Amino acid sequence: MGLKAILQQKKKAIVKDWIDLVIDTYPGDSSKFMKSKGDRFANPVGSTISQGLDALFDGLLNGDSREKMMDMLDPVVRIRAVQDFAPSQAVFFIIYLKKLIREKLKKETKKDKIADELAELEFKIDELSLLGFDVYMGCKETLFSIKANQEKTKIYKAFKRAGLVTEVEEIGPEPGELNI
């Protein structure tokens, strides 16, 4: 049996542990809620993580394209990018899959034939974790640009359209500041 077949067989157990791992990074009382089987509207974090990781695992096995993997990675990392995590913690779960797989495949890894395949898969996981950083940075950049452009894209833009920008500067402080 090749590595892919073995992993497909053990998918359920591996993915479950993977999901638990990610969710257990939340405080205990919250993680229980996120593990609950509430619908995706009552519990978006939990459901996004479980769906996302499930799809990622399949993607890894099927050798999906870089774009596709990024799409699957995106929702999970996007959530973690606005939560209370250091960047490394936000994407650490990807690399951790290597450990999980080795644990689950203790018996099988002794066979040489799989070792090669496993090394290859682990390299793919490494790649995936680098992609994770790309996604994470993309999310953070979106956040920063939203922050930076907040005034500009809304109030300032409206003022500029109205040709009021210079006048406002004459009046005094920037819009939004105290003006007495």
Partner 1 sequence: MSDLPDADEFIKIDHSTPSTGWMDTPAKIRPGMYCYASNYRSVEALGLPNARRWNPLDDDWQIPDNWQQIFLEGLQERLDKFRSLKIFMDICVRCGACADKCHYFIGTGDPKNMPVLRAELLRSVYRNDFTTAGKIFGKLAGARPLTLEVLKEIWYYLFQCSMCRRCSVFCPYGIDTAEITLLGRELMNLLGLNIDWIATPIANCYQTGNHLGIQPHAFKDMLDFFVEDIEEITGVNCEPQYNKKGADILFLTPSGDVFADPGTYTAMGYLILFQFLKEKYGLDVTWSTYASEGGNFGFFTSHEVMKRLNAKMYAEAKRLGVKWILGGECGHMWRVIHQYMDTMNGPADFMEVPVNPVTGTVFENASSTKLVHIAEFTADLIKNNKLDLDPSRNDNLSVTFHDSCNPSRGMGMLDEPRYVIQNVCNNFYDMPPSTIRENTFCCGSGAGLNAGEDMELRMAGGLPRANAVKHVHEKHGVNMLACICAVDRAALPDLMDYWVPGVDVIGLHELVGNAIVLPGEQERTMDLRMEPLPGMEDEADE
Partner 2 sequence: MNSSYIFSLILVIILCVVAYMGGNAEGLRLVFGVMIPYLAVFLFVLGFLRKVLGWAKSPVPFSIASTCGQQKSMPWVEQNKLDNPSTTFGVIIRMFLEIVCFRSLFRNTRMRFHKSTDGVKIAYDWEIFLWAGALAFHYAFLVVLLRHLRFFFQPVPWCIQVIEFFDGFFKMEFVGEVIDIGTLQIGLPGVFVSGLILLAAVIFLCLRRLMSPKVRYISLASDYFPLFVILGIAVTGIVMRYFAKIDIVGVKAYTMGLVMFKGTLPPENVGGIFYIHLFLVCVLLACFPFSKLMHMGGIFLSPTRNMTGNTREVRHVNPWNYPVKTHTYEEYEDDYRDKMIGVGLPVDKKE
- The residues binding partner 2 (CB under 8 A) are 28-30, 32-33, 36-39, 42
Binding test (CB under 8 A) with partner 1, winner from 5, 126, 150, 169: 150
Q: Which is nearer to partner 1, 8 or 122 (CB)?
A: 122
Asked whether position 53 contacts partner 1 by CB under 8 A, the answer is no
Structure token pair of residue 34: 């996120």
Q: Which does 79 bind (CB under 5 to 8 A by kind): partner 1, partner 2, none?
A: partner 1
Is residue 133 within the footprint of partner 1 (CB under 8 A)? no
- Interacting residues of 148 by C-beta distance below 8 A, sequence separation 6+: none
Stretch that binds partner 1, among 62-70, 106-114, 126-134, 156-164 (CB under 8 A): 156-164
Binding segment for partner 1 among 8-16, 38-46, 65-73, 127-135 (CB under 8 A)?
A: 38-46
Contact call for residue 21 and partner 1 (CB under 8 A):
yes
Joined tokens for residue 161: 């359209």
The one of partner 1, partner 2, none whose footprint includes residue 107, by CB under 5 to 8 A per kind, is none
DSSP string, 127-156: HHHHHHHHHHHHHHHHHHHHHHHHHIIIII
Q: Does 106 bind partner 1 (CB under 8 A)?
A: no
Q: Between 3-23 and 28-35, two packed helices, what is the crossing angle to 10 degrees?
A: 130
The token duo for 89 is 């913690």
156-171 core/surface letters (b: 16 or more CB in 10 A; e: else) = beebeeeeeeeebeee
